[in-house]
Structure 1
Amino acid sequence: MLELLKRLFKKDQLILLGAGVSVTVLMIGLYISQPKFLHLLNLKIYDNYLRQYHQPAATSVPIIIDLDEKSLSELGQWPWPRYRVALLLKYLTAYGAVAVASDIIFSEPDRTSPAIMQEDVKRELHIDMGFTGLSKDLMDYDRLLAYNLRGGPYILGYDFSLAFVPSDHECRVRPAKVAVLSSPGAPSPHDYLPRGKGMICPIPVLAEAAPESGFITITPDLDSVYRRVPLLYSFEGRYYPSLALATLMQATEQKNIVLKMSPVGIESIRFNDMVIPTDGKGQMLINYRGGIRTFEYISASDVLSRKLAPGSLRGRIAFIGTSASGLKDIRATPLDPGFPGVEAHATVVDNILSGQILSVPDWAPGLEFLGMLAGGLATTLLLMWARASWIILPVLCMGGSMWYGSVLFYQQQGYFISPMYSYLTLGLTFITLTLIKFWREEIAKRYIHGAFAHYLAPSVISQIMDNPEALTLEGQEKEITIQFSDVRNFTSLSEKLSPTQVTNLLHDYLTPMTRIITEHEGTLDKFIGDAVMAFWNAPLDTENHQEKSLRAALAQQRKLEELNEVFLEKYGFAIAVGIGIHSGSVRVGNMGSADLFDYTLIGDNVNLASRLEGLTKYYGQKLVVSQAIKDACGDGYYFRILDNVRVKGKEEPVTIYTVYTREEAEARKAELELYERAHKAYVDRDFAEAEALFRELRETGAEAALCDLYIERCEQMKDDPPDCHWDCVFTHKTK
């Protein structure tokens, strides 16, 4: 696998790929472990959605009967006598309420009942106290309240605790009838539902009389904010409904609940053809509609004073609770830090009746996981192939798409799909990989400048900066095109000039020559006096490096013609330059000692290129190239064979050529055809014919040095013909 990656990606890309995958895996690990600080951050994102996109109450069914400061001021502090509570319940149903739920637990007998007062006075003061004109039915206010409970749609509240709560009376609240619909492999609901260890219940006489009862237990999240409510509790193997659910059961006269289980927990609760999505523990997210008093509040004192219009509560569900701060039923919600607990129950009823229920679907983790993978890997691949500045827009688009998709799910489907982990993965991957790229690029820049500042043109260094992965300073074997050029008889020419003039002449000549080399993507190796060594295809890979070297040589020849006009005027003479080009495998890299080194080439092919430059003078040519150059560039140029030779120091023969552009060859067509006939006769051992043809060519004034060379050879061959093993190869004894 590692070898495959090495073949597919470059070293820097592999580093970025490894870092990107590592960051993504780290975020997946955090997603699975859900550390507290990230969980809290996710809750705050949910709160922001709720604040930004919450809607007003969808129904006007729930109403709050408030034990407010006004009621307490007019009718006395809580707890009120139970007969007053009975009157409150009676009046509410008289106004048309279809259900009345109490968010207050009547867990102790009413101490203001006359019968209890008689017992207390007799026990504590040893006085028998009687009441004149008071009927027997009014002696016990709890029984009076119980009598009223039996006749109406009333729901009492109770509370679960996580610890055992001792009680002086038995808990008589009734469990709900729950049918469990389980898919294969689904666990028992009791393993997932919140489980109470103790109950704080209404006294038995009231619990038995009430048609329904429901728990008021709501547990806050880690930050003490109330965002969800359990709809069912498990206690001693039975199911108990929440106050809101029990109230709906009473209002709709629907007593059955269907609990749907999946292998990962509770999926939903079905009630009266309404499917309520929950989390795995049977908890429903509360879709808060706003802050306090989102729903209508009516003071309990106004109800008891009969100030409401007849029928004003027809078809409505009343929750009796308190907004008075002294009664400590104030809770923090995402929309209000001082939200009455009773209004939370009203909100749940509104959510269920309207069907506007928020949820985190069971497929949300899979989608969030895919979002993390997409954000991490897409950012990694982008940074592997592009600069960090170029991918800011794509990354911003990805982030915007994640946010927009999440908001769309929330607004249209009521699904909360958190973009947090996808955002964190995308952002952390981008930052990490950008820092790595910055660090690597800084190292590469310092390294490249230090290594190449003295022998590479600025344009080549710019290419390396743009594509540093293409650079290697380690020694390697590769095919290189080498060019040597040298000024003919420069020593003799320089004797006519002062040292300053020699320096100026070299500057005027070498500057345009090296510029042509670098413009054709060549690398300047070194100056050897008036000679220049350059090569192509290192340190960067260069396409068609043989042709680029050849084009550079032809451009140098044309430039020299322009320079010679200046040199004739300035120094009184023109200069001639011979260029040799060869392509082959060499060793390229840093050569030298540990302290002093040079980026250069070594190998037999370097020596051959140098020998070809030396042969330009012998054959009277400006440019001599090898068979390797002809093979690579033959279609675009005219190559005239010069000879088959063994250069000094080599046993293997080499075919050498000079080169013309197609336009030059067409202009010299007759001359070149005559030369080809002469050279063919020479190769065919017809030395007399060859000599005659070379003399004919010589008389035209073309290629005098080359013709004289072959005329002399033909004369020798006629006098001393070669044997049958002659291979037409001429061996040079000197450089």
Structure 2
Amino acid sequence: MISRFARLIKNISLPGIGILISILIGICYVYQPYFVRFLDNKIYDIILRRNHVSAISDMVEIIDIDERSLEEYGQWPWPRYRVALLLQKLREAGARAVGMDILFAEPDNSSPINLKKNLKRDLDVDIGFTELPPPLEDNDVLLADILKQGPFVIGFYFSFGHLKSDNKEHFLKPVPISVLSQTSANAQGATLLKAEGVISPLPLLSKSAPVTGFINTVKDRDGILRTTPVLMEHEGSFYINLGLSTLWAGLQKPSLILKINEGGVESLRFGKTVIPLDRNGRFRLHFRGKRKTFTYNSAADVLNGTVGLEQLRGKLLLVGTSAAGLEDLRTTPFDIYFPGVEAQATLIDNILTGDFIRAPDWVPGLEFIVTILAGLFVVLLISVASNKVVLPATLTLATLCWLGSEWTFANHHFFVSPLFPLINLAITFGILTFTRMYHTERDRAQIRQAFSRYVAPSLVDEIAKHPERLNLEGEEKEVTVLFSDVREFTSMSEKLSPTEVTTLLNHYLTPVTRIIRQSQGTLDKFIGDAVMAFWNAPLDVPDHPERALNAGLDILAELPELNKEFKERFNLEIAVGIGVHSGQVRVGNMGSDDLFDYTILGDNVNLTSRLESLTKFYGVDILVSENIKLVRVDDFEFQEVDTVRVKGKETPVTLYTCRRSELFDQKEQQSWLEGLALYKEGSFSEAIAIFNYLRKEWPTTALYQLYLERCRSYLDDPPERWDGIYSHLSK
């Protein structure tokens, strides 16, 4: 199992692993498992607390049946006549509208008429009330009479699932809502919450109230109130919640237009205000802070006249309770004991101020894109940057994701969750960092094993210390290539025994290998008596053309000493041809998955091999390309040899031989350049005179004899179109 996992890690690249992680997290984003939504809600709570707007509208106040009211006027439920008295005082104060966040689902048993009935039923006692005005015999009738006078909104409760509806006649007041739909009629009903039943006030009360509104709030699965439904459907009619109903009544019942798109509910137009809703008709509450952020007036103070009536004029009032014993408390992002009535006040305030927390349709798409890009950023970062950069850059991006979410919330009031980008950053960073560490340790072991054959031990240590500077998978890179070959080695080998051939090669290749490795070259391979090496890979060597050229000249300088030994032991001497060229090649591990070599491939490699093979043709020890000649070093002097078209290439190549400066003869060079210029112009007769001079003065230089013979042949058989370029027809 472990070995299988190791092979999997080995075969999948870091970008591949990172992209796979991003895809899996993207799938997780689409399906939104509960634990992720739980974390997302917690992040939302933090951002809301840090960036909420605490200013509130002065139109909304709460009439609180608080602990002091219960202490002064007795336990709840109060007699309905006292509730009626409270409402009467609020009406007389000139309130715009009064919403009752209280469910009057049962008759008032403290009414004289009900008290008389209950005593007769339970104790078989008949009682009577003398001098009691008939309107005071039934507290519910008294409250109903007050409700008729308005402006009051009475609450009811929609039931779902196991909570059954009561059997009363409901007399609920659906609101007139126009529907602007971009989808089918069937889809409309499917998006809103559908109430299965109703727990309503007494029919007498609900029938008397001018407006009704449901008092349901819906907590998230973690028990925290963040959104509230403002609109529900029941038996084909639309109903709005208590807070919105109170505002609707207080603002003279403006028009309501529900907008539905293909995704569900989009918004509710309330007069000129567009209220953003989620697809199920829920409103995200922009809480202003902890409990009692709004103005609370004790019901006891209203009843005993302590609160000035002028203070309540023109206000939207909500009657509810903050008393713990009445169990109308909610948990919000700000407070674990938040009165339910204040949630209704928050809704009204948000609509009055237009201070909405929006959820545009494009936010999920943006979150998804940022999530994927965050993972790809880490993939790119780990692929190209060092460990010192990756962690700070990842933490910086994580911080930007968080600050970006806070900024959009604070300035535009919509929540773009940073959760999934942060998850992707953390998981991708963790897994890719571990994978890269695994790859690094594996590569270091491979490097030490593999490159000890190619380069000097000091360079092997440097490679192992900084493996990130390697690209074993292959890359396009400029290198300098050297080919060397022993001339006529096959014919020499026929004169020696196999043991002697092996000994000769070992004695020759040992100093060649030493010279190449000491100059920071990479020994690619031995091909019989031939040697192939290159510079500037696997590690960068800034002056690689100069080092390669020096290595070639050092090999030639080593030959006289070697030939003394070979003359004594084998009665022969060797000559070597060397080609050097710089250019772009493909460098990396080449071969099968199980057997490969670190080597180079490309047209420039082939050209270097051709240069080496042409040394024999021109009678020189070393040939280099024009790329090498461009090296501006005082230690070297270059002599142009020819401009040729080698077989298989159309582009002409200018060839040079090279000597160290102390071995260079300026007089010889000057004469040669004059003769070569005449040769290129096609003045073969004049060129012959100079080449004759050069051959006599420097008879060991075969190049001059070659040009002398070439010019004579061109005089006898002139070329049709002479451009000064010689074409080699064989390799």
Match of 2:138 in 1: 140
2:587–2:598: 8 Å Cα contact kept in structure 1?
A: no
For residues 394-451 of structure 1, give each alpha carbon's deviation from its aligned partner in whole angstroms, at most 9, with x where no partner exists.
Answer: 5445434433332222112211111222222233333333333332222211101111
CA distance in 2, matches of 1:443, 1:260: 61
Out of 77, 80, 83, the residue aligned to residue 82 of structure 1 is: 80
Out of 127, 130, 134, the residue aligned to residue 129 of structure 1 is: 127
How far did residue 512 of structure 1 move? 8.6
CA distance in 2, matches of 1:599, 1:295: 76
Judged with a 3 Å threshold, the aligned counterparts in structure 2 of structure 1 residues 361 and 631 are, in CA distance, closer, same or farther, namely closer
Give 3-state SS (helix, strand or coil) of 2:180's partner: strand
1:147 aligned partner, one-letter code: D
Out of 580, 586, 593, the residue aligned to residue 577 of structure 2 is: 580
Match of 2:621 in 1: 624
For residues 623-663 of structure 1, give each alpha carbon's deviation from its aligned partner in whole angstroms, at most 9, with x where no partner exists.
Answer: 7135xx4587577731559xxxxxxxxxxxxx998533799
Give 3-state SS (helix, strand or coil) of 1:312's partner: helix
How far did residue 100 of structure 1 move? 1.4
CA distance in 2, matches of 1:657, 1:411: 71
CA distance in 2, matches of 1:162, 1:395: 47
How far did residue 611 of structure 1 move? 9.8
Q: How does 1:267-282 map to 2 (within 5 A)?
A: 267-282=266-281
Give 3-state SS (helix, strand or coil) of 2:69's partner: helix
2:159–2:165: 8 Å Cα contact kept in structure 1?
A: no
Match of 1:517 in 2: 519
CA distance in 2, matches of 1:600, 1:259: 71
How far did residue 22 of structure 1 move? 1.2
Q: How does 1:18-167 map to 2 (within 5 A)?
A: 18-163=16-161, 165-167=164-166
Larger mean CA deviation between 312-321 and 39-48 belongs to 312-321
1:481–1:549: 8 Å Cα contact kept in structure 2?
A: no
Larger mean CA deviation between 19-28 and 667-676 belongs to 667-676
Match of 1:468 in 2: 470
Judged with a 3 Å threshold, the aligned counterparts in structure 2 of structure 1 residues 126 and 374 are, in CA distance, closer, same or farther, namely same
Q: So what's the TM-score if we normalise by structure 1? A: 0.74
Give 3-state SS (helix, strand or coil) of 2:309's partner: coil
Match of 1:344 in 2: 343
Match of 1:638 in 2: 639
CA distance in 1, matches of 2:237, 2:600: 88
2:169–2:203: 8 Å Cα contact kept in structure 1?
A: yes
1:523 aligned partner, one-letter code: L
How far did residue 279 of structure 1 move? 0.3
1:263 aligned partner, one-letter code: E
Match of 1:459 in 2: 459
CA distance in 2, matches of 1:96, 1:178: 28
Give 3-state SS (helix, strand or coil) of 1:668's partner: helix
How far did residue 86 of structure 1 move? 0.5
For residues 226-268 of structure 1, give each alpha carbon's deviation from its aligned partner in whole angstroms, at most 9, with x where no partner exists.
Answer: 0001001111111111000110111111154211111110000
CA distance in 1, matches of 2:26, 2:100: 46
Match of 2:565 in 1: none
Match of 1:666 in 2: 666
Please tell me whether residue 409 in structure 1 is matched to residue 408 in structure 2: yes
Judged with a 3 Å threshold, the aligned counterparts in structure 2 of structure 1 residues 120 and 461 are, in CA distance, closer, same or farther, namely same
1:218–1:230: 8 Å Cα contact kept in structure 2?
A: yes
CA distance in 1, matches of 2:20, 2:84: 66
Give 3-state SS (helix, strand or coil) of 1:26's partner: helix
Give 3-state SS (helix, strand or coil) of 1:469's partner: coil
Match of 1:483 in 2: 484
Match of 2:304 in 1: 305
Judged with a 3 Å threshold, the aligned counterparts in structure 2 of structure 1 residues 330 and 674 are, in CA distance, closer, same or farther, namely closer
2:100–2:153: 8 Å Cα contact kept in structure 1?
A: yes
Give 3-state SS (helix, strand or coil) of 1:311's partner: helix
1:154–1:212: 8 Å Cα contact kept in structure 2?
A: yes
Judged with a 3 Å threshold, the aligned counterparts in structure 2 of structure 1 residues 255 and 315 are, in CA distance, closer, same or farther, namely same
2:214–2:242: 8 Å Cα contact kept in structure 1?
A: yes
For residues 593-649 of structure 1, give each alpha carbon's deviation from its aligned partner in whole angstroms, at most 9, with x where no partner exists.
Answer: x99x99899999999999999x89xx9x9x7135xx4587577731559xxxxxxxx
1:581–1:609: 8 Å Cα contact kept in structure 2?
A: yes
Larger radius of gyration: 1
Give 3-state SS (helix, strand or coil) of 1:258's partner: strand
CA distance in 1, matches of 2:365, 2:610: 66
Judged with a 3 Å threshold, the aligned counterparts in structure 2 of structure 1 residues 542 and 229 are, in CA distance, closer, same or farther, namely closer
CA distance in 1, matches of 2:215, 2:588: 82
Contiguous gaps of at least 5 residues in structure 1: 1-10, 487-505, 565-575, 642-654, 715-735
1:157–1:216: 8 Å Cα contact kept in structure 2?
A: yes
Larger mean CA deviation between 172-181 and 577-586 belongs to 577-586
Judged with a 3 Å threshold, the aligned counterparts in structure 2 of structure 1 residues 600 and 294 are, in CA distance, closer, same or farther, namely closer
Judged with a 3 Å threshold, the aligned counterparts in structure 2 of structure 1 residues 419 and 428 are, in CA distance, closer, same or farther, namely same
How far did residue 276 of structure 1 move? 0.5
1:378 aligned partner, one-letter code: F
CA distance in 2, matches of 1:556, 1:517: 10
Please tell me whether residue 178 in structure 1 is matched to residue 177 in structure 2: yes
How far did residue 174 of structure 1 move? 1.3
CA distance in 2, matches of 1:240, 1:666: 106
How far did residue 511 of structure 1 move? 10
Give 3-state SS (helix, strand or coil) of 2:484's partner: strand
Q: How does 1:355-374 map to 2 (within 5 A)?
A: 355-374=354-373
Q: How many residues align?
A: 631
Match of 1:326 in 2: 325
CA distance in 1, matches of 2:689, 2:54: 111
Give 3-state SS (helix, strand or coil) of 1:581's partner: strand
Give 3-state SS (helix, strand or coil) of 1:91's partner: helix
1:286–1:351: 8 Å Cα contact kept in structure 2?
A: yes
CA distance in 2, matches of 1:427, 1:589: 33
How far did residue 171 of structure 1 move? 1.3
Judged with a 3 Å threshold, the aligned counterparts in structure 2 of structure 1 residues 690 and 238 are, in CA distance, closer, same or farther, namely closer
Match of 1:266 in 2: 265
How far did residue 151 of structure 1 move? 0.9
Match of 1:725 in 2: none
1:113–1:140: 8 Å Cα contact kept in structure 2?
A: yes
1:59–1:350: 8 Å Cα contact kept in structure 2?
A: yes
Larger mean CA deviation between 425-434 and 331-340 belongs to 425-434
Q: How does 1:671-686 map to 2 (within 5 A)?
A: 672=672
Q: How does 1:354-433 map to 2 (within 5 A)?
A: 354-392=353-391, 394-433=393-432
1:67–1:320: 8 Å Cα contact kept in structure 2?
A: yes
Please tell me whether residue 230 in structure 1 is matched to residue 229 in structure 2: yes
CA distance in 2, matches of 1:509, 1:142: 116
CA distance in 1, matches of 2:74, 2:588: 101
CA distance in 2, matches of 1:392, 1:335: 34
CA RMSD of aligned residues (A): 4.9
2:578 aligned partner, one-letter code: I
CA distance in 2, matches of 1:248, 1:113: 32
CA distance in 2, matches of 1:432, 1:588: 26
Match of 1:491 in 2: none
1:216 aligned partner, one-letter code: I
2:376 aligned partner, one-letter code: L
For residues 571-598 of structure 1, give each alpha carbon's deviation from its aligned partner in whole angstroms, at most 9, with x where no partner exists.
Answer: xxxxx9976314799999999xx99x99
For residues 147-201 of structure 1, give each alpha carbon's deviation from its aligned partner in whole angstroms, at most 9, with x where no partner exists.
Answer: 1111121111111111352535211221111111112557543211111111111
Contiguous gaps of at least 5 residues in structure 2: 1-8, 488-507, 562-572, 632-637, 643-653, 710-731
1:468 aligned partner, one-letter code: L
How far did residue 72 of structure 1 move? 1.0
1:221–1:227: 8 Å Cα contact kept in structure 2?
A: yes
1:142–1:205: 8 Å Cα contact kept in structure 2?
A: yes
